């Protein structure tokens, strides 16, 4: 294999063009065969439902080069299921799991030369997405859909791996509400959060931490990751109807239990900020990012001593990454080798 000429160890989390993407069309009641394309652009009708009424959902997962040179993806079936759940909630045609997996594997195999070398700290980010493409002016679900997968090599979402980030609790802006679509990966959720994130960045924070929209007293999540805290030997993560069910979080809970920690998924009051020993963000892009401090109503609660991630956060990060990259054996059956790599 002739690997792409990139500085893989210093990649940003940003779009970089690759060789191919995969497209599957839902027309007249059935899904087409996958088409592999080198075109980075789409032709869309200007009245497509996705452009006006927001039938647009996506997923994010990663592929890693293992020590033996094969490429593996982390828990792709979970992403397939979550895309279907998002589709059902937005009245879109759910993509069958086998169509999803086939398109993901084809996209990775077609971009093998962009998979970062093992242990480079980078990964191939896979972005499956689905949009309603029928031209409509009245508000109603599209009859036609495009499901597509592209890949792009990325470094960590928050710079420098295990370096703690600063968060600020957001009290003015909500990204989601109970009964809304915050528990789906709907594109509009990310637009809803941009004002809050950009304002926090201007103030020197990496992200905001949203509270539940109804009472503003429980921690929900960040704009792009779930939240966890460590209290003694307990891993705590918010239960809420308005957060995205993170696959990273679900996996880390298993690792935490297997490391002998207690796991609590429950409403987490913002009043508990002072009682956490460690805190972190969880997500495909964020992996496990230690949270060094959280500012709430002008008070800064700190969780990282001397700017370093705590011992439990570090141990969870190392174990997760070792499984994802194939450095350690995967006893959970989470990783799938991509055929043809």
User: Which residues of the shown chain bind ligand PLP in the complex (CB under 6 A)?
Assistant: 60, 221, 224-226, 244, 246-249, 282-284
- Rounded Cα distance between 37 and 105, Å, is 14
> What is d(CA 153, CA 122) in angstroms, rounded to the nearest whole number?
7
Burial status of residue 281 (CB atoms within 10 A of its CB: 0-12, 13-18, 19 or more):
buried
Does 180 participate in binding ligand COI (rule CB under 6 A)?
A: no
Distance CA(248)–CA(260), nearest Å, equals: 18
With CB under 5 to 8 Å by kind, the binding choice for 130 among ligand PLP, ligand COI, none is none
**Whole-angstrom Cα Rg for the chain:** 20
The nearest distance, CB 224 to ligand PLP, in angstroms, is 4
> How many Å apart are CA 8 and CA 182, to the nearest integer?
33
Binder among 284, 313, 324, 325 for ligand COI (CB under 6 A): 284
> Phi/psi zone of residue 91: left (φ > 0), alpha (ψ -120 to 50 degrees), beta?
left
Q: Which of 283, 292, 310, 326 binds ligand COI (CB under 6 A)?
A: 283
230 binds, among ligand PLP, ligand COI, none (CB under 5 to 8 A by kind): none
- Looking at the Cβ atoms of 74 and 114, the one nearer to ligand COI is 74
Contacts of 51 (CB under 8 A, 6+ apart): 44
Does 185 participate in catalysis according to the annotation?
A: yes
Pick 144 or 336: Cβ nearer ligand COI: 336
Q: Which is nearer to ligand COI, 224 or 237 (CB)?
A: 224
- Which residue of 18, 55, 130, 224 would you call a contact of ligand COI, by CB under 6 A? 224
Min separation Cβ 223 and ligand PLP, Å = 6
Q: Are 131 and 71 in contact, with CB atoms under 8 Å apart?
A: no
Does residue 290 bind ligand COI (CB under 6 A)?
Answer: no
Binding site residues, ligand COI, CB under 6 A: 60, 224, 283-285
Which residues are the active-site residues?
A: 185
């Amino acid at each position: 294999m002739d690997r792409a000429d990139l500085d893989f160890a210093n990649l940003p989390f940003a779009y970089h063009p690759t060789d191919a993407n995969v497209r599957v069309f839902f027309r007249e009641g059935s899904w087409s065969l996958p088409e592999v394309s080198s075109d980075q652009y789409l032709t869309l009708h200007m009245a497509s439902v996705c452009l006006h009424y927001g039938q647009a959902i996506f997923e994010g997962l990663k592929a890693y080069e293992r020590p033996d040179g094969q490429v593996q993806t982390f828990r792709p079936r979970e992403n397939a299921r979550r895309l279907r759940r998002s589709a059902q909630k937005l009245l879109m045609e759910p993509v069958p799991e086998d169509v999803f997996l086939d398109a993901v594997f084809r996209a990775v195999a077609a971009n093998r030369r962009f998979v970062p070398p093992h242990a480079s700290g980078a990964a191939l980010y896979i972005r499956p997405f689905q949009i309603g493409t029928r031209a409509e002016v009245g508000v109603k679900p599209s009859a036609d859909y495009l499901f597509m997968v592209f890949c792009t090599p990325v470094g960590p979402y928050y710079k420098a791996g295990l370096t703690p980030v600063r968060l600020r609790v957001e009290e003015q802006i909500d990204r989601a509400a109970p009964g809304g679509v915050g528990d789906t990966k709907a594109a509009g959720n990310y637009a809803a959060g941009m004002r809050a994130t950009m304002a926090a960045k201007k103030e020197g924070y990496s992200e905001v931490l949203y509270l539940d929209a109804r009472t503003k007293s429980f921690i929900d999540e960040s704009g792009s990751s779930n939240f966890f805290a460590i209290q003694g030997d307990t891993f705590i993560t918010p239960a809420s109807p308005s957060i995205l069910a993170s696959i990273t979080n679900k996996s880390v809970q298993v690792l935490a239990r297997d490391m002998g920690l207690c796991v609590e998924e429950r409403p987490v009051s913002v009043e508990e900020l002072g009682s956490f020993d460690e805190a972190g963000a969880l997500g495909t892009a964020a992996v496990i990012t230690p949270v060094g401090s959280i500012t709430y109503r002008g008070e800064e609660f700190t969780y990282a001593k001397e700017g370093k991630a705590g011992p439990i956060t570090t141990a969870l990060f190392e174990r997760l990454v070792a499984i994802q990259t194939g450095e350690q054996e995967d006893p959970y059956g989470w990783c799938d080798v991509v055929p043809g790599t």
